[in-house]
Amino acid sequence: MNGPTAAIDTLAFGGNGVSRVNGKVCFVPFSCPGDEVRLAITSEKRSYCIARITEIVTPSPSRVTPPCPVFGTCGGCSWQHIDYPQQLQAKRQILVEALWRGARVPDECVGPALPSPDPYGYRSRVQFKVQGTAGRLRIGFYRNNSHQVEDIGSGCAIAVPVVNSTLAVLRVVLDSCPDVSSISQVSVDSAEQGVIAVITYSGRDVSAVSDYFRKRCAELQPLTGLYLQTGRKPLLKLFGDNQLSYDLPQAAPEAPACRLTYQPGGFSQVNRPQNRVILDIVRRMACFEDTAHVLDLYCGNGNFSLPIAGEVARVTGIEEHAGSIVSAEANRAANGIGNVEFICADAVSGLKELVARGCRFDTIIIDPPRAGAAEVVTELFRLNPSRIIYVSCDPSTLARDCGLLAGSGYTVRESVPVDMFPQTYHLESVTLLQKQ
């Protein structure tokens, strides 16, 4: 029997298209706004259902042919079948709806989504799953709703070219590696200077596996460094560099670029051009003055703290990950910056320390993990900044936190979606809140 037909209206955070079937909201994977589709219901709840497409009756004008041969099976991307302008429109609408639900932010406060210069070939860090034995090796990503690895063959469509060329040489070396069945993941991280891979190994013969890779290091170009991750132990260096680096501009055109490094396994944004775009937005929203004191919460390796230091009187950065603080301090020294202080502490403890000191800040920049910053809102109130600039990777937690901040008189003046992750539903945003 034929299933119901439906028109796909919008896209939801999570990647699914949205329609209505029998009066319920219906989420449809791999659909596109403007599609007319025939469906088979796969899961039904009280207020919504989930369905798969059995037939595309009329394709949307925004539907395109995905360039990746494993799209739809590989669990990595969800929107390669949707043209890029439609993706940008959908991401803005997702942010608009989240901010309205969570903090009653009107539509006109949300700007257009800023496109990535490269909708493909942009991702500088990729974690590849590994599965199999010598001669029967699969390297790629988990299939949808599975822990089976879908092999990606010649590479990943959204990865920068050097990541794919690195994967190609790693594939050859891994194929004859002793105890390869105990290798579950290979992470390849490429910066403007350096390409480093981290191999996750759960077997018992660390010595033999380490020796094997050291002997094959000449075959692993363009890698500049290779590490082994075994459980919760520190990374074991097999050969090469111990850091990656990239440049960010300072505000004055004549000033040299600020060179920032980070350690293997450390965090950095995966879309380098869009990282610069976010820094530009932060500068514009902050309207820095040379007397300003700025707090950079969740500061990482100094990604915002150090490039802006020349524009203000003082910057304080707080970060709980010790490795990131090591990198931040090294970056501060290497760039000859004297007006930045870094504190290694979790966000709540670091803020309490600043409150106890009687510190005050004109601007606070927060760039929390996906879970958001609800835990620090009370301490932010005590520091009483005139503006908060919130860099978010999750619209729902951003909206929740903006609602909490509104309770103490902070109003969202502007929010800018930035497409850091084309071909996926994920989005970054930068939001300005000001004290009323």
Q: How far is CA 135 from the centre of its chain?
A: 34
Q: Tokens 């050291």 identify what position?
A: 214
Residue 279 burial (10 A CB sphere; 0-12, 13-18, 19+): buried
- Rounded CA separation 323/87 (Å): 36
Q: Which residues contact 3 (CB under 8 A, 6 or more apart)?
A: 38, 39, 40, 41, 51, 54
Measured between alpha carbons, how far is 369 from 52 in angstroms, rounded to an integer?
32
55 three-class SS: strand
Give the residue numbers marked as catalytic: 393
> Rounded to an integer, what distance in angstroms lies between the CA atom of residue 369 and that of residue 397?
10
Alpha-carbon distance 182 to 309, whole Å? Answer: 45
Q: What is the DSSP string of 83-118?
A: -HHHHHHHHHHHHHHHHHHHH---GGGB-PPBPPS-
